[in-house]
A = this chain, B = another copy of it.
Amino acid sequence: MRDEGSEATGDSPTLGQVGEFAVIDGLVRGRSQPLAVLLGPGDDAAVVSAADGRTAVSTDMLVQDRHFRLDWSTPHDVGRKAIAQNAADIEAMGARTTAFVVGFGAPADTPAAAVDALADGMWDEAARIGAGIAGGDLVSCPQWVISVTVLGDLQGRAPVRRSGARAGAVVAVAGDLGRSAAGYALWHKGIHEFSDLRRRHVVPQPPYGEGAVAAVAGAQAMIDVSDGLVADLRHVAELSGVGIDLSTAALATDHEQLVAAAAAAGSDAWAWVLGGGEDHALVACFADAAPRGWRVIGRVLDGPAEVLVDGAQWQGYAGWESFAG
């Protein structure tokens, strides 16, 4: 049941045939938990280490055909994405991810092997972070709904909030910008080239570990780019009471592939870079220099609380909103 190729085959028994408890048993059995998971699945609650007396916690819900499509993504991909985007929220506080709990709703006729592949994807991504899946819930639902809650360890540090940016700081990024949005456009238009961009859309690659690096380096403020660079930095600008000016010259590094993909898709690469979410890059403000591995892309100004691009308002697409379109 554990190889990726077996998912969603017509031969697999369904959730309804296997039954809730047997499916859960199969998902849980043989997984090895990290040390931070003191008590794993199988009781009314799990117990997770919170070494410094605090737990960072965040939750995200993914709905089929809204946040993922099973004709673009394998169940394994969906599992990886659900874990990755939640872990990015913990990274953005400067914390280390310890554990996840997962709620999963799916129709009774879902192949049990697809659920197994989803869980394998979750575990594979969690293993990249050194975290465990400590518990969950499996219910009947008309479409797939995945709800992930992530716990993190601040390791004795203050959380890096959105509200701490101060004029004079540099704005720097770790991770991808615009690649998930590019991949979405390519999938949407049925363009088969640029497979690495299409891949980034189905499985984002947050810069794991860089959140803690930023916190140790004294980041004033940090956020993960889930909705779009401009939209997310607007939260930092408003909560910090500062302006943020992004530089297209600085953002244009490594831009050639996006420009080529945008030409193929009839899109604007800048809309992807400035307005595309789901890459789960980390963006942070540092008083002086950014730490190694981070790219400076702008600077923090004395108010008003707005995000500029090369000193001007950005007129293009700025980011995702859940109930739009």
Contact = CB atoms under 8 A, between A and B. Distances in A.
Interface of A: 15-16, 19-21, 38-39, 42-63, 66-67, 88-90, 92-93, 95, 99, 101-105, 108, 134-143, 145, 147, 149-152, 154, 159, 161-162, 222-224, 239, 321-324
Contacts of A93: 43-45, 47
A141 B58 contact: no
Contact of A51 (B49, B53, B92): B53
Nearest to A48: B55
Given A139-B322, A140-B66, A323-B19, A44 B224 contact: yes
Contacts of A134: 57
Nearest to A224: B44
A61 B92 contact: no
Most buried by B among A90, A92, A321: A321
Contact of A58 (B59, B63, B101, B140): B101
Given A20-B323, A140-B66, A323-B19, A145 B55 contact: no
21 contacts: A16-B323, A20-B321, A39-B161, A44-B89, A44-B93, A44-B223, A45-B56, A47-B57, A49-B55, A52-B53, A57-B99, A58-B101, A58-B135, A59-B136, A61-B105, A66-B140, A67-B139, A101-B149, A142-B143, A145-B145, A149-B149
A53 B53 contact: yes
Given A55-B55, A321-B20, A323-B16, A45 B90 contact: yes
B159 A47 contact: yes
Contact of A138 (B53, B139, B322): B322
